[in-house]
Structure 1
């Protein structure tokens, strides 16, 4: 057990919180505030290097994985079946998440537990939110056209991974409709890119326990007890929503694969711990694919297609967080939402969560868009910034759990077994061997 990654990560998490509380000015304060805040970025260095390594290879990893996932399907019927089922499934689960968030937030009413005097402490200069174009200003036909990846360089600058996902899907489908002689060089290139990406990821994973310690220690130094205690009911509401969504996933897993909840959680615990520690779906994508194939027996064509796609557009944890945060702030600012506005809020959240970059802190940017549509002052985000990173870690854990759940559901719906996938691999290997000999 002491050699397993999940145990090392767990130890790093515990030590990070303990050391952070000892140094935090808002907790035990063993050192002065200036010294603690000077130590924080140095402690987080390993974690930031870890995240930077993952960000460096996330685009080639996503593209190569999706291309290989599509081309390994061997026939267009399997691919069509997978594509036609995964999109409605992702939309369905996002709608479930948003509905759960609305029900829980309206029932608990977390805004009433925060003193209105706290609004006077908001400083507009304390937050910097990236400017986001409101979704309502773009027509649906324009949104559809904008999905086609025309300017790849701009997409990379904007961190729009969805563009690269769509580009990879186009490339993969095109390769399946080409002659083997013409498609082979590009398939080999995709394999090389994936091998390169996985090599860099393997280097990064050696840093994982130290990265987890550094990131959590740095966060704890900055927030301490005060930020969490003053927003305890809001934090409880979000965590309850995420737990409800996890229960929904466990039910789906049992109904689709007959895997008991505790067995499923035991198999995916490494992925969940890594997601909780890094707050990045992209960072755990390689581990998610490996877990899906090795521990959940998901065929490679499905795992390589569903996991990268899910890490980009299946953000159910983020969606439920956004809708609860929006309802919380409307309650705090005394804004009464009509039924129509709630429906608009739900639809906006679904649309905004799809295609969100799978990197830490992106939920705040998306939340700014939603708040603007409701008439809530964006400055209200300053109230939840103190606890956002902790909640970001929790919702990322649910996001990756949803991706693994989706891979099991697609395995059931597409009717491709692991044995069939292995046979397909052997046939491909024989074909390549024969072609080389010829």
Structure 2
């Protein structure tokens, strides 16, 4: 068992939290506070190196995987069926996630459980928020045109992975329509890029247990459990929402994929543990594709297309977190929302979660945009910042579970489409 990656990661998580509590000023405080805070970044060093290695190859990995996934399809009809079905499915599950978040937030009302005295401390807190263009500042036609990656260098600097996803889809579809002789060099280049990316990922995965230990230890040293306890009802509401979404996925897996829930969770446990530990869908993308193919029997064209695409635009866990966090802060600040405003908030959350960079902490940046649109002071983010990393780990776990669920659904739907096409051809020739 010691050789199993999931066990090593789990052990790293437990030891990291344990050491973090021993050193944390708000827990056992074995060492003075200034020493503990100085130790934290050094403990996290190997974890940050791990994440940096993944970020270094995420763009070539995403692009090469999507290109190869598209070009490995049997024909254009199969590709069309996959593309036409996957987008509505992603939007549907995101809407379900946001709806769950709204319902749970209004049932529990977590904002009513926080002392109003805590608002006095908000003005002294400083939160670094990246400037984000809100949806009200850009027209829909300009937004659509902006999806086309004209300047890939700028997209890289902005962390806009969605631009590279769209570019890869264009390249893959174009290669499908070209003759084999002209397309072969580009396909070979994509294969080389994927092999290079996977080599780097394999190196990084050897660091994974140590990275998990360091990252969790550093987080625990900084926040201890005080921040979690003071926001316990908010944390509970988010976790309940994520659990409800997980149950929704398990229902889909059982009804569509005919896989028992516990069996499904057993097969994907390594991916979930890695996602929880790293808070990055991109970091576990290679493991997700491998798990989809080897544990869930997903055809390679589907796994190489759905998983990278899902890691970019299928952020159901992020969506449910954002809407719960936004409603929590409206309750805390006494901002009354009409039914129309709640619907607009939900739709904004759906749009904001699609294309979110699959890296740690991005939910805070997106949440700032949503809060500006409903009249909540952006400084309110200071309240939830202390527990954000823990919740980030949880929602990332749900995000990757959603990607694997989507691959099962697409396998079933494309099989139906292929079988229907064969039947139609047989009837025609009969």
Q: Give the alignment's TM-score, normalised by structure 2.
A: 0.96
Q: How far apart in 1 are the matches of 2:416 and 2:23? A: 53
Aligned to 1:282: 282
**Within the alignment, does 1:350 sit opposite 2:350 as a pair?**
yes
Partner SS for 1:129: coil
**Within the alignment, does 1:371 sit opposite 2:404 as a pair?**
no
Check conservation: 1:272, 1:401, Cα contact below 8 A. Answer: yes
Aligned to 1:432: none
Deviation at 1:416, TM superposition (A): 7.6
Aligned to 1:399: 399
For residues 387-430 of structure 1, the C-alpha deviation after alignment (integer angstroms, 9 at most, x for no partner) is: 00000000000000000000000000011899xxxxxxxxxxxx
Deviation at 1:123, TM superposition (A): 3.2
Q: How far apart in 2 are the matches of 1:309 and 1:129? A: 27
Aligned to 1:429: none
**Number of positions where the alignment pairs a residue of Structure 1 with one of Structure 2:** 418
Q: How far apart in 2 are the matches of 1:63 and 1:35? A: 43
Aligned to 1:83: 83
Partner SS for 2:34: helix
Partner SS for 2:358: coil
Aligned structure 1 segments of 4 or more residues deviating by more than 6 angstroms: none
Aligned to 1:170: 170
Q: How far apart in 1 are the matches of 2:335 and 2:122? A: 18
Check conservation: 1:317, 1:399, Cα contact below 8 A. Answer: yes
Check conservation: 2:94, 2:350, Cα contact below 8 A. Answer: yes
After the TM superposition, which residues 67-146 of structure 1 pair with which residues of structure 2 at under 5 Å, given as runs? 67-123=67-123, 126-146=126-146
Partner SS for 1:26: coil
Q: How far apart in 2 are the matches of 1:351 and 1:135? A: 9
Aligned to 2:412: 412
Unaligned runs of 5+ in 2: 419-430
Residues 25, 169 of structure 1: alpha-carbon distance in 2 compared, 3 angstrom cutoff: same
For residues 269-294 of structure 1, the C-alpha deviation after alignment (integer angstroms, 9 at most, x for no partner) is: 00000000000000000000000000
Q: How far apart in 2 are the matches of 1:396 and 1:354? A: 14
**Within the alignment, does 1:361 sit opposite 2:361 as a pair?**
yes
Check conservation: 2:70, 2:172, Cα contact below 8 A. Answer: yes
Deviation at 1:189, TM superposition (A): 0.2
Partner SS for 1:132: coil
Partner SS for 1:46: helix
Deviation at 1:124, TM superposition (A): 5.3
Aligned to 2:337: 337
Q: How far apart in 1 are the matches of 2:244 and 2:229? A: 22
Unaligned runs of 5+ in 1: 419-438
Check conservation: 1:299, 1:417, Cα contact below 8 A. Answer: no
Aligned to 2:425: none
Residues 176, 200 of structure 1: alpha-carbon distance in 2 compared, 3 angstrom cutoff: same
Aligned to 2:424: none
Aligned to 1:49: 49
For the aligned residues, what is the CA RMSD? 1.0
**Within the alignment, does 1:303 sit opposite 2:303 as a pair?**
yes
Deviation at 1:140, TM superposition (A): 1.1
Check conservation: 1:302, 1:411, Cα contact below 8 A. Answer: yes
Check conservation: 2:125, 2:382, Cα contact below 8 A. Answer: no
Q: How far apart in 1 are the matches of 2:59 and 2:41? A: 27
Q: How far apart in 1 are the matches of 2:126 and 2:157? A: 25
For residues 79-137 of structure 1, the C-alpha deviation after alignment (integer angstroms, 9 at most, x for no partner) is: 00000000000000000000000000010000010000000011355211001111122
Q: How far apart in 1 are the matches of 2:270 and 2:198? A: 17
Partner SS for 2:280: coil
Q: How far apart in 1 are the matches of 2:416 and 2:157? A: 38
Deviation at 1:225, TM superposition (A): 1.4
Deviation at 1:311, TM superposition (A): 0.1
**Within the alignment, does 1:272 sit opposite 2:300 as a pair?**
no
Aligned to 1:9: 9
For residues 180-227 of structure 1, the C-alpha deviation after alignment (integer angstroms, 9 at most, x for no partner) is: 000000000000000000000000000000000000000000000110
Partner SS for 2:355: coil
Q: How far apart in 2 are the matches of 1:137 and 1:158? A: 18
Deviation at 1:241, TM superposition (A): 0.2
Aligned to 2:25: 25
Q: How far apart in 2 are the matches of 1:66 and 1:196? A: 15
Q: Give the alignment's TM-score, normalised by structure 1.
A: 0.95
Check conservation: 2:69, 2:302, Cα contact below 8 A. Answer: yes
Q: How far apart in 1 are the matches of 2:123 and 2:129? A: 13
Q: How far apart in 2 are the matches of 1:125 and 1:244? A: 33
